[in-house]
Amino acid sequence: MVSENELGQKLAQGVGALCSRNWWVFLIGGLASVIFGIMAFMKPGVALLVLAMFFSAYVLVDGAVNIWGAITHRNRDGWWALLLLGIVGFVAGGFALLYPPVSMIALIYVVAFVAMFIGVISIYLGWKISAEVPNEWLLYLTGTMSIIFALLLLFQPGIGGLSVVYMIAFWAIFIGTLRIWFAFRIRKLGKNIGATTA
């Protein structure tokens, strides 16, 4: 059984420190995701171009905060995963804003790619954190659901326009909520461990 003091030392040195110090990165990304999802649910019949711009802006913001969080804590284990997640999101969002998808198929592939990448990196971070923080399952769930969602989009090309909008909106709200939950969990844990080790 790992003592709270030993857990504090692990968290202070490893990837747990990266996440606990960058809890606001997960919070901002989660809020942006939820806001996008709500907007998509409220305006499902909006022009596809507008929906694509909304999604691109969300991915761009999420990528930017991930890059900032990774660079400011690049001495922590696992910082490169956060940086890679940020770069991919920033580039994908920026490219989509400059060259917005002109068809539903293009939008589906952009969303599926971003969801798949978020899923893989989230599972990796969850695996790294699980060695330091017991019973931390939120990143595993976030990653798994993102990958399942990406595969559904890729292998169901016949889904109707509004159905795709609702699927994207539901995924954005669900994943965003999990990321917000994780942000507050890791922030609280970091505060408790910091007080204990002090």
Q: Tens of pLDDT along 129-146? A: 776 666 668 888 888 999
CB-CB contact of 156 with 28 (8 Å) = no
pLDDT tier for residue 3 given thresholds of 50, 70 and 90: very low
Domain that holds residue 83: 4-197
Mean pLDDT of 114-139: 80
- The Cβ of residue 114 has, within 10 Å, a number of other Cβ atoms equal to 23
* H or E element at residue 111: helix 104-130
Domain count, the chain: 1
User: Burial letters for 161-193: b for 16+ Cβ neighbours within 10 Å, e otherwise?
Assistant: eeebbbbbbebbbbbbbbbbbbbebbbebbeeb
For 61-108, the pLDDT digits (tens) are 888 888 888 887 777 766 788 888 889 888 888 887 787 765 666 777
